[in-house]
Structure formats: C-alpha cells, structure tokens
A and B are shown apart, each in its own frame.
Chain A
Amino acid sequence: KAGVTQTPRYLIKTRGQQVTLSCSPISGHRSVSWYQQTPGQGLQFLFEYFSETQRNKGNFPGRFSGRQFSNSRSEMNVSTLELGDSALYLCASSSRTSGLSTDTQYFGPGTRLTVL
C-alpha cells in the first residue's frame, strides 16, 4: 500500500506570494490533517479535513486555508506569504474510525517551504 505523498517536496517563494501544497492520503483514508513544523514552535496543528469537510482547526490566521476533494486528496493554501511561514509542512492521513486524536496518523515526508 502506497504511503502518504506530498508535492512538491521543496518550494521557494518570496514574501507576498501565495502557495498551494498537495497531499495524497493512503488509499481508503478519508481524514487528512496538516501540520506546520518549525525549529522554534515545533509541530503545530493547522487543520483536519474529513469527507471534504473541515472538522478541526488550529490557531492559525485566515491566510492558511485548505480543502479536500472527493478522492480525499487535500490541498493547503497560504496567501500573502510572510518570512515566518518558512517551515516544513506535514500532511497526515488516517482512517478516522473513531476520533482524530485516537486513530493512528500516517505522515508524509513533508513539503519544505522557504520564504525569501
């Protein structure tokens, strides 16, 4: 079974631009969560999508948004990029048979975003 895939793996943008990251979950998984990982703040939960609906949201500004398609693939968008948005963005999928925080999440390798 193929794992979680994320594209692109590396991205360089400049301040003020916007960016879209993509995540394909494990086949059969309907829940996709996004996390931001930085050296200073560690791993922070962005949001979770389940069956095309946002089910959970972390404490991030509205510049961070996402969506999920009918095939469970998810995209994350960041508008008006700031230097502080430079981070590794991780996507995780789960079958969500119960709750997000009880199921095992399977992580992708991440997209490393650098904002200049």
Chain B
Amino acid sequence: AQSVTQLGSHVSVSEGALVLLRCNYSSSVPPYLFWYVQYPNQGLQLLLKYTTGATLVKGINGFEAEFKKSETSFHLTKPSAHMSDAAEYFCAVSEWDRDDKIIFGKGTRLHILP
C-alpha cells in the first residue's frame, strides 16, 4: 500500500529565502504525486501534480517539485519565499491504476519570518 512521509511538521524560512518542503512516498507501482496548500479557514488547493513525463513539475505561485524515482521523493521548492506563502502544505500519492484513492501526508506548516 502507498504511504507518504513529510519531513518536518513545521518549517520556518525567512522572506526571500529558498523554500524546501520534503516529501517521500512509498508505492509499489508508478505513482501519481500531488502537492496541495491549505490556507487558514480554507479548503485545499492543488499546487501541482506529477503524472507521467517530465519529472520537474511547475505549479502555481512559483512552486515546483521534482519527482526522483531512485530516492522515492517529491520535494516542493520555491526560490524566494513570500509572506503570503505561509500556509500548510500536503503531499499526496495515488496508485491510480490499482487503488483509485489519494493518500495524504500529515502536512507541513510553513512559517515565513520577516
């Protein structure tokens, strides 16, 4: 069965610094991978997703993630953090051709320091 591990329940970065949120997955088949963001008192919003093809995926708000099969990772990055990036981020995985469900990680809360 698939699973997702997000390293660090809280991450703090300074405004303008690199954002790196880590996600490792476990899957016995080629997975589909997702990053979602949740702002306070709101639902989740899709940032980006990897299905097939190019392993570097670009999403909204300047975020991108790279699928590394050998490392079973799908880390989320943004070159320069903005105050508005403060939110909770969720990595998710699906074994789309075996079990049509999405499994979410526990989430990482990103804090932006002025």
Is residue A90 contacting chain B, with contact meaning CB distance below 8 A?
yes
- Evaluate contact between A56 and B96: CB separation under 8 angstroms: no
A interface list, Cβ under 8 A from B: 4, 42-45, 55-56, 58, 90-92, 99-102, 104-110
Is B113 an interface residue when CB atoms closer than 8 A count as contact? no
Partner of A42, one of B94, B95, B101, B106: B106
Chain A residues near B71: list those with CB within 8 A. none
List 9 other contacts, CB 8 Å, given A42-B106, A42-B107: A43-B90, A44-B104, A58-B101, A92-B44, A101-B99, A102-B32, A102-B94, A106-B46, A108-B43
- Measured CB to CB, the nearest residue on chain B to A45 is B101
Give the chain A neighbours of B43 by CB distance below 8 A. 4, 90-92, 107-110
Given the interface pairs A42-B107, A43-B90, the reply to whether A100 lies near B42 with Cβ below 8 Å is: no
Could you say which of A56, A58, A90 contacts B44, with CB atoms under 8 Å apart? A90
The answer to whether B46 touches A105, judged by C-beta atoms less than 8 angstroms apart, is yes
Quick one: given A42-B106, A43-B90, are A109 and B41 in contact (CB under 8 Å)?
Answer: yes
B2: nearest chain-A partner, CB-CB:
A101
Q: How far is the CA of A74 from the CA of B90 in the complex (A)?
A: 25
